[in-house]
Structure 1
Amino acid sequence: MQDRHGGQRLFGTTEELARQTERTREITKQAVELLRQPVPDTFLGRKTQEPFPREEQGPMPKPQRG
């Protein structure tokens, strides 16, 4: 929005500032909630479950090609 001298206005309307302030508070609240969560474990070698038990017969036979 321009003023009567053709320059840009530095601030918007009171309603616009109130909307921006509320949005900033929402974003900050979400960021704080996210930062309170524990850090995820991204180590790829960690075993988070027990492996499947092996069959008593041994390893599976290889598929035959032909």
Structure 2
Amino acid sequence: MHERTPSLLPREPYFCKMIEHTRELLQKSFELLQQPMPDTFLGRKTQEPFPWQDDA
């Protein structure tokens, strides 16, 4: 039977927490990557006035 060394026993909870945290981060990253890419074109003119606003 495989026995654990006493020196690793205190670290085991730390490693379990780190693995859990890493899995949570991967899940969040995966969810972000599933979203559509944002439109970041700097030259896009989305604030142009409507034609009837130019006459005012």
Which of the five TM-score ranges fits, normalised by the shorter chain?
0.5 to 0.7
- Please, which runs of 5 or more residues in structure 1 have no aligned partner? 1-8, 57-66
RMSD in angstroms over aligned alpha carbons? 2.4
Q: In percent, how many aligned pairs have the same letter? A: 49
TM-score (norm 2): 0.63
TM-score (norm 1): 0.55
How far 1:31 sits from its partner (Å)? 0.4
Structure with the higher helix share, 1 or 2 = 2
Q: How does 1:1-66 map to 2 (within 5 A)?
A: 13-48=11-46, 51-52=49-50, 53-56=53-56
Q: Relative contact order: is structure 1 or structure 2 higher (C-alpha 8 Å, sep ≥ 6)?
A: 1
Aligned length: 47
Larger radius of gyration: 1
- Please, which runs of 5 or more residues in structure 2 have no aligned partner? 1-6
